[in-house]
Amino acid sequence: MADGENTLREFLTSRRAALHPGRTGLPVPHGPRRVPGLRREEVAALAGVSAAYYTKLEQGRIGRISDEVLSAVEKALQLDELERLHFRALVRNAGHRPAPVKDVTARARPELVAMIEALDPVPALIHGPRLDVLAVNRTAKLLIDDFDALPVRDRNLARWTFLNPRARTVYAAWETVAPQVAAVLRHLTVDRPADPVLHQLVGEIALASPEFVRYWAEYRLYAHSHGTKRFFNETVGELALHYEMLTLPGDTGQRAVVFTAERGSPAEEKLRLLAAWNEPSPSPADRRA
């Protein structure tokens, strides 16, 4: 993992490279350019600062920076809201030694586990601040994977997405989901710059997955909130489900993810069939009752 200064440089360099001069109002250059996108001096001109000052900023060698300068750089690089939050966190981290994050194993409260179990047959799971799966209900196990049956270190959505072959079957659009997962990890690292467990996770996935390395180098950012995912299940085939990411304020870094099907859709019928097809057999006591 890179330190704060290197990460700030990676981020700003990636955003410069992605921005064509024609999108900024600058004269469109003729002929080949040495670097893709904008040069440092062009960003500096757009932000109204000297090229030397911007170079120091990109290298993380600037102390306290005014909000006006930060806003000008954000505008020059046309950063979106998530990128602006990320940029400001990187600036805060640069040149400072962040307090180490304690390696505390996160656990879902029994009440939260009971909540997602009560939602069944609606698939739901709870994950921690490093995307560790802390709880998963029965239908989510059928739809995605039985994380409870996996070794503890493998109960992680990022590790599972890139290193478990089942993920490429379950995610009908793995090539879309995988870059998003890498981008989520990218954003997480700025909030937890001194988290050795998170850094180790990123390193282990990078060693085993060339695709992850490529996505990481692209420096995308993503924050799950809500959307649609396409799943494939051997029992019912392909189905598209909406997901909602619910932040749990009393449980730092933990979130519940709930998957639902559109009313009256084929996905709703498939989800109902999946739950019924795999309904546990009643016990003798239940049959007698």
**Cβ atoms of residues 8 and 42 within 8 Å:** no
pTM score of the predicted model: 0.86
Which residue segments constitute the domains of the chain, with CATH numbers given?
4-93 (1.10.260.40), 110-277 (3.30.450.180)
Amino acid identity at 262: E
What is the per-residue pLDDT for 1?
Answer: 42
pLDDT value of residue 105: 64
Rounded to whole angstroms, the Cα distance separating 210 from 178 reads 12
Print pLDDT tens along the chain (289 aa): 445 678 899 999 999 999 888 788 777 666 666 777 899 999 999 999 999 999 999 988 877 889 999 999 999 999 999 999 999 999 988 766 666 666 566 789 999 999 999 999 999 999 999 999 999 999 999 999 999 999 999 999 999 999 999 999 999 999 999 999 999 999 998 878 778 899 999 999 999 999 999 999 999 999 888 999 999 999 999 999 999 999 988 777 899 999 999 999 999 999 999 988 766 655 555 545 4
What local confidence, expressed as pLDDT, does residue 277 receive? 77
